[in-house]
């Protein structure tokens, strides 16, 4: 009888409403994972009957709001309890500025602090009252904001946990006089606990400057100071994928592995790339229809993200190398490289010569592409979102050409730790030749190690799929995070 009475009391208890503020760094690649996290928190609270529901507010810059479309409109993927309000604030950066430059985005982030403070002063008196801040690690003032309004802070690091370990240990590398590197081309490996051994050129550009007082290095040195005040660090990974890195963070603060964030709470299903624009629907259909005509595991998917920077000469050498490889290829050449037609940047007669084994497009539905039976390899910039999508949905071998940010560190994880890929180059600033491209593509698709890489890819895919099942590490981490936020809310 006592148990029955207790159950009745629990059922009658009002549901706790957790109002959480999302603070993403002002880049779409940072906003999207935070919105994905918010959806999963809301869905987990409902699925596990945690006695709470979430409402979210996100503050973004005017420029990101205009780019983000459905990501910040409040639209969702069928989770009816998901509520997101968007507040757009100025970031002080002119529309003519090069917004892909890290220094520009850092300044935009810093400029957003004053207008954000003004809005938060209203949100803490709203109903339901704001109680939790979910702050991107790359927003260095998130902890100050939370402290100023007596809000609970949870920090999110959406790139690889291994790269986060490198950033966390950056102050120690400076104090040991390892940074600044005397020569970024030196061939001596640097050890960072939780991360694979790295050469200087693998480090992010902010850690390759020669002046310790450089603003970008100072920004990097302070990123993980948030661990001193955060209620928990949220990582977009699975424990078994990056166990050494996760363990390193767990020694410093409560740590939740909840990735991959792009997956819905139900785990791996038929995935569809989100938020197709109207003019992209037919292009996506054409792309997938072309893949249907290709042999199994024969196509190399070539895509370097939306921010990679190439010279026209590099694009032409890539084109020649892909043609000379005689492999079918699907090549995404982002619109930022085009001044009209593909022919403007490609070798003369290229499209005609490769028309039977090539599909060129400025955009492709990546999730559907990676799961297609004809894809046998991925020529990638090593962005963490692309890596997670590949190992979760396909596990095909990767040809690594890291460009910026943490991508060099991610490439080490792929090549040296997982052994799921081979290196091509480091930095898009380097010279390449068509012969190098041809050799690398043929090695990835037809080399002696390809079958072993595909076997490893299958194992990594299984690791992720186990983590997102009921009882898996990512699903358990998400539920624990929900309960922690609920409890903090009621203190």
Q: How far apart are CA 368 and CA 392, in angstroms?
A: 12
Mean pLDDT over 86-108 rounds to: 82
Helices in 330-449 by DSSP H: which ranges? 350-353, 366-370, 384-393, 407-412, 434-446
State the pLDDT at residue 490: 52
Element (H, E) at 84: strand 84-89
Tokens representing 462 are: 């299984």
Q: CATH 3.40.50.2000: does it fit domain 12-267+469-490?
A: yes
Tokens representing 252 are: 């410093």
Do the Cβ atoms of 246 and 162 come closer than 8 Å?
no
Q: How far apart are CA 370 and CA 301, in angstroms?
A: 8
CA–centroid distance for 384 within its chain: 5
Do the Cβ atoms of 128 and 26 come closer than 8 Å?
no
Of 97-101, 113-117, 230-234, which gets the smallest average pLDDT?
A: 97-101
Using the CB atoms, write b or e for 342-360: b if 16+ within 10 Å. Answer: beebbeeebeeebeebbbb
Q: Confirm whether 12-267+469-490 and 278-465 share one CATH topology.
A: yes
The residue among 468, 477, 464, 459 whose CA lies nearest residue 267 is 468
Q: How far apart are CA 77 and CA 270, in angstroms?
A: 13
Q: Quick: pLDDT tens for 430-485.
A: 889 999 999 999 999 999 999 999 999 999 999 999 999 999 999 999 999 999 99
State the pLDDT at residue 187: 85
Tokens representing 9 are: 């009391």
Q: Quick: pLDDT tens for 125-183.
A: 988 999 999 999 999 999 999 999 999 999 999 999 999 999 999 999 999 999 999 87
Whether the model pTM is above 0.85: yes
Higher pLDDT, 101 or 248: 248
Helices in 212-311 by DSSP H: which ranges? 215-221, 243-250, 278-292
Of the pLDDT bands very low, low, confident and very high (cuts 50, 70, 90), residue 278 is: very low
Q: Which three-class secondary structure string do you get for 150-185?
A: CCEEEEEECCCHHHHHHHHCHHHHHHCCCCCCCCCC
Do the Cβ atoms of 24 and 234 come closer than 8 Å?
no
Of the pLDDT bands very low, low, confident and very high (cuts 50, 70, 90), residue 371 is: very high
State the pLDDT at residue 9: 42
Helices in 232-383 by DSSP H: which ranges? 243-250, 278-292, 312-325, 350-353, 366-370
- Beta-carbon contacts of residue 36 (< 8 Å; ≥ 6 apart): 261, 262
State the pLDDT at residue 308: 74
State the pLDDT at residue 42: 95
Tokens representing 173 are: 């590398």
Q: CATH 3.40.50.2000: does it fit domain 278-465?
A: yes
State the pLDDT at residue 100: 64
The residue among 159, 160, 206, 158 whose CA lies nearest residue 181 is 206
If 0-12 CB within 10 Å is exposed, 13-18 middle and 19+ buried, where does residue 293 land? exposed
State the pLDDT at residue 10: 44
Reduced to 3 states (helix: H, G, I; strand: E, B; else coil), residue 448 is coil
Element (H, E) at 4: helix 2-12
Higher pLDDT, 435 or 76: 435
Domain boundaries, the chain: 12-267+469-490, 278-465
């Amino acid at each position: 009888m006592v148990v029955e009475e207790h159950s009745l009391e629990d059922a009658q208890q009002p549901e706790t409403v957790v109002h959480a503020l999302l603070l993403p760094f002002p880049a779409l690649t940072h906003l999207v994972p935070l919105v994905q996290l918010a959806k999963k928190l809301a869905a987990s609270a409902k699925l596990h009957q945690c006695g709470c529901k979430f409402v979210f507010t996100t503050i973004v810059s005017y420029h990101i709001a205009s780019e983000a479309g459905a990501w910040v409109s409040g639209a969702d993927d069928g989770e009816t309890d998901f509520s997101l309000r968007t507040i757009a604030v100025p970031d002080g950066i002119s529309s003519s500025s090069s917004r892909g430059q890290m220094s520009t985005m850092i300044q935009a982030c810093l400029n957003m602090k004053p207008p954000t403070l003004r809005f938060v002063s209203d949100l803490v008196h709203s109903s339901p009252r704001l109680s939790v801040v979910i702050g991107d690690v790359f927003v260095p003032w998130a902890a100050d904001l939370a402290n100023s309004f007596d809000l609970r802070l949870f920090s999110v690091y959406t790139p690889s946990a291994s790269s986060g370990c490198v950033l966390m240990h950056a102050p120690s590398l400076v104090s040991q006089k390892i940074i600044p590197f005397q020569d970024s081309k030196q061939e001596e490996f640097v050890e960072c606990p939780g991360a694979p051994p790295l050469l200087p050129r693998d480090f992010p550009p902010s850690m390759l400057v020669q002046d310790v007082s450089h603003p970008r290095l100072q920004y990097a040195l302070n990123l993980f100071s948030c661990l001193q005040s955060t209620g928990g660090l949220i990582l977009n990974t699975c424990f078994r994928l990056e166990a050494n890195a996760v363990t390193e963070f767990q020694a410093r603060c409560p740590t939740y592995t909840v990735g991959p964030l792009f997956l819905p709470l139900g785990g791996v299903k038929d995935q569809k790339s989100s938020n197709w624009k109207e003019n992209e629907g037919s292009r996506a259909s054409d792309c997938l229809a072309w893949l249907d005509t290709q042999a199994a595991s024969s196509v190399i998917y070539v895509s370097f993200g939306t921010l990679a920077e190439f010279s026209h000469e590099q694009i032409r050498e890539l084109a020649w190398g892909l043609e000379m490889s005689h492999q079918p290829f699907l090549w995404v050449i982002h619109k930022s490289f085009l001044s009209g037609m593909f022919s403007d940047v490609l070798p003369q007669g290229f499209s005609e010569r490769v028309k039977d084994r090539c599909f060129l497009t400025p955009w492709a539905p990546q999730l559907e592409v990676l799961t297609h039976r004809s894809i046998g390899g991925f020529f990638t910039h090593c962005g963490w979102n692309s890596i997670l999508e590949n190992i979760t949905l396909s596990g095909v071998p990767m040809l690594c050409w890291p460009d910026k940010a943490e991508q060099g560190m991610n490439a080490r994880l792929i090549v040296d730790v997982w052994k799921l890929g081979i290196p091509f180059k480091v930095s898009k600033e380097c010279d390449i030749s068509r012969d190098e491209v041809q050799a690398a593509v043929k090695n990835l698709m037809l080399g002696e190690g390809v079958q072993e890489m595909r076997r490893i890819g299958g194992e990594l895919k299984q690791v992720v799929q186990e983590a997102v099942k009921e009882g898996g590490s990512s699903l358990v981490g998400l539920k624990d995070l929900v309960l922690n936020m609920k409890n903090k809310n009621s203190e």
